[in-house]
Amino acid sequence: MNHIACELNSILEGTVAEKMLSNFGKRIYFPKGIIVQSAEAKKFAETANATIGMAFHKGKPMILSALSDHLPYLSEAETVAYAPTAGVESVRELWFKHLLEKNPSLKAEFISLPVVVPGITAGISYMADIFFDKDQTVIINAPCWDNYSLIFEERREARLRNVSFLLDQSIDIVSITEAIEDEARTGEVRIVLNFPNNPAGYSPTSTEVDMLCECIYRAADSGANVFVLCDDAYYGLLYEDNTCKESIFCRLAGLHDRVLAVKADGPTKEDYVWGLRIAFITFGSKGLKKAHFDALIQKLMGTIRSSVSCSNTPAQFLLLKTFADQRTQDNKDRYFGILQRRYLAVRRFIDAHQNHPVLKALPFNSGYFMSFECTGISAESLRRVLLDKYGIGVIALGEKYIRIAFSALNEEQITPVLDTIFKAAEELA
């Protein structure tokens, strides 16, 4: 094993992070090679810097006119230069401040500086690399985002323990508790919490967050090491007053020495920048100090370096400029209002069409989606009928569920689309 990896493992020794590392997580490190030497040269090479594989002219990166013309408000360095492996420092600091502002109960001493990753999917995949080995189990909601299967099962050969997190119109705390307590008997618990949920579109109330955290605390206090991945892709898009307005990560980060929480989030959904492909990974644990967080960040940097090297540079600077623009909050407020009205239109329809013989709505109160459980018909058959006969596209999740992205429908489309979905389901029954 490389001596740098050994040094990082030594720093983490005895912590929940060290105990939850995969074999890859133990081996990975950030080399003191080209990137580190280039960073040192950037600071101290006053005469000439011949370290980085970029082309410069008179001290500035070379850039094509077509690019500079289409991105007139970004400098050459903000457009085509490589970003640091962990992300542009000012972007990381901006997101750190953003986390604390949006989550007032979050304590800065219990979390790391966020690391920039090329999208939430990549961030989750990196966490799977660092913390999951073959045949290890991860508790996950059923139904879930289909990419979890690719990331955990196919890439890491871990096992998904599919648990229904939702029951009627709330969290199914009994099923979640049973799964966590069962895994805790093995000495380790790994779980993904995705709120607002994809595909159901549900976020817990403060009371439900209390129950979830109490269950996780008991598992840790019984002696189990607990890894919780908070997939907060749709965080902030909360349409009902009774939903918990803070991420559950806030509670988990300071919950117990044997709980390691990871927040995977970013501007993708809430800030309407899907194609920029930047997100953040933040570590949190009551049992970790700055040196521990720094060691984990070094391992994450090694994972990034060994895959994509670094995240998109112009996207990071565009995010900085977007957050600094006085128009941004007004834009976001207006777009949130549009999404909330679409949600309310769906809610009115569902409330007016209870006890449908074929379709039952899963709990939903947030995010982009809502989903139906199909009884007596195939979800894929319904999807094909809707597409082929009515020209309506929905997502079938296995044979049992269909997902509707109301975020993609104009408000006036919602009632006729849902009415057609109900009628098509009845025709198939």
Structural domains in the chain, sorted by start = 3-26+85-324 (3.40.640.10), 31-80 (no CATH), 329-428 (3.90.1150.10)
pLDDT tens digits along 23-56: 999 999 998 776 667 776 677 766 656 667 776 7
Full-model pTM? 0.94
Name which of 107, 110, 185, 172 is nearest 141 in CA terms.
Answer: 172
DSSP 26-90: HH----SSHHHHHHHHHHH--S----SS--EETTEE---HHHHHHSTTS-HHHHHSPPPTT--HH
Q: How high does pLDDT run on average in the chain? A: 93
Q: Inform me whether the pLDDT recorded for 68 exceeds 90.
A: no
65 phi/psi in degrees, rounded to 5: -60, -35
CB distance 234 to 368 below 8 Å? yes
pLDDT tens digits along 356-399: 999 999 999 999 999 999 999 999 999 999 999 999 999 999 89
Tell me the two tokens of residue 135. Answer: 């045949």
The CA distances from residue 180 to 137, 161, 337, in Å, are: 11, 10, 37
Write down the residue that tokens 């970013």 correspond to. 266
Look at residue 162 and give its three-state secondary structure.
strand
Q: What percent of the chain has pLDDT over 70?
A: 96
Q: Report d(CA 174, CA 171) in Å as an integer.
A: 9
256 phi/psi in degrees, rounded to 5: -165, 150
The strand pairing partners of 61, in sequence order, are 56
Tell me the two tokens of residue 390. Answer: 């009515």
Residue count of the chain, please give it. Answer: 429
- DSSP-derived pairing of the beta strands 159-163 and 137-141: parallel
Give start and end residues of each alpha helix (H) in 115-262: 120-131, 147-148, 173-184, 206-221, 249-253
